[in-house]
Structure 1
Amino acid sequence: MPTVEPGAPGPLTALSPVRLEFAQKAFIEAGGNLLLVRKSADDPFHPGRWEVPGGRLEVEADLDLDDHIRREVWEEVGLKVDPGPPFHLWQWFMPERDPRMRGGQVRVVATARSCRPVTLDASLDNQEAGDHLAEYAWVPLEEVESRELIPSLRPVVRAFLARSG
């Protein structure tokens, strides 16, 4: 194998940069219903599709993983939750939006967690502009799979329903 001088372009320089991020999704069940949120029409990736509350870790802001999921749920749907254990791990790729990483990708590694609601009065009032949420709904468990879900979330929902039923 040929050697490469330090700082010189090597065989991997042609590859697009990949940045790693971590996310958590909250599966909040109450009275046989699962809390879903629907993306707004202006969401850049999944307009109008349904998912569960959650988001990416803010390394500087989140004290630990429980704090992270509590913050995400509070921001997106205004609920307080008691985070439970993770039950599913998956990943997806997104185009990099940082112009300094032109042509790159973001690899998001995510975990799904069952969360017990401490409060039940959901609201979208706390969401940030980047959340792109149009509405929320408490959906009966038997109807969840019939919603137009974000594709990468479908196997996670099936795993959740298999545990619940």
Structure 2
Amino acid sequence: MIRARMMATAMLFNDGDLLMMKRSPTRTLNPGMWAVVGGHMEPEEINDPLDACLREIYEETGLQPSELTEMKLQYILIRQNRQEIRQQFIYTAQSARRDVLQTDEGILYWIPREQVLQREIPFIFHTLLEHYFSHGPAPHIWIGTAGISASASPTVHWTPLVDPVMN
């Protein structure tokens, strides 16, 4: 049986640095690896990933929505992980402050942009960050679908999400 899991995450920037979490080695998902803030959506948040993202940001950092600017849905990532289809909404925003709370999920650090990709990051998120750093903020949402390339390597295919105009 294939299940579905929806998640909302945020790439938060301050003066060009990205807020990243070095995940606790005791976490089930990606222990000891680097990630951005975010998590699973609650059932009542399914139709509002922004609310889920703001909740996760507050829970993991203490940052209030009023301390975030330029909040924008930038990516929707779809992939299969074993018997689970995962759909992740990834927002970008600017943080007005750098002092953040610490949680038991991991330790938060502001990482200079040029050092981000040197961290141990799961493949799917490393690919997303590479794409964002090379394409920058876009006027549209990017859809990423993970799969296997013709050479049997993991890959992510990026497509701009556009509203087709009916004539």
Indicate whether 1:136 and 2:71 are aligned.
Answer: no
Q: Unaligned 5+ residue runs, structure 2?
A: 138-167
Which residue in 2 is equivalent to 1:8? none
For 1:37, the equivalent position in structure 2 comes to 21
1:72/1:83 Cα in 2 relative to 1: closer, same or farther (>3 Å)?
farther
Would you say how many aligned residue pairs link Structure 1 and Structure 2? Answer: 134
Conserved? CA contact 1:88–1:113, under 8 Å = yes
**Offset at 1:94?**
4.2
Pairing 1:151–2:123 present:
yes
Higher relative contact order (CA 8 A, sep 6+): 1
SS in 2 for 1:60: helix
Please list every run of 5 or more consecutive structure 1 residues that lacks an aligned counterpart in the other structure: 1-16, 96-104, 126-131
Distance apart, 1:108 and its partner CA: 1.2
Q: Equivalent residue for 1:99?
A: none
Residues 37-76 of structure 1 aligned to structure 2 (within 5 Å): 37-60=21-44, 64-76=48-60
- Going by fraction, where is strand more abundant, 1 or 2? 2
Is 1:112 matched up with 2:90? yes
Deviation track 1:95-125 (CA, whole Å, cap 9, x = no partner) reads: 6xxxxxxxxx322111211122244321124
Percent identity of the aligned residues?
22
65 and 90 in structure 1: CA distance in 2 versus 1, 3 angstrom threshold: closer
How much has 1:83 moved relative to structure 2? 6.3
Q: 1:64–1:111: structure 2 CA closer, same or farther, 3 Å change rule?
A: closer
For 1:142, what is the secondary structure of its paired residue? helix
> How far apart, in 2, do the equivalents of 1:110 and 1:62 lie?
11
3-state SS in 1 of match to 2:71: strand
2:21 and 2:108 in contact (8 A); partners too: yes
- When normalised by structure 2's length, the TM-score is 0.70
Structure whose CA Rg is larger:
1
Q: Which amino acid aligns with 2:105?
A: L
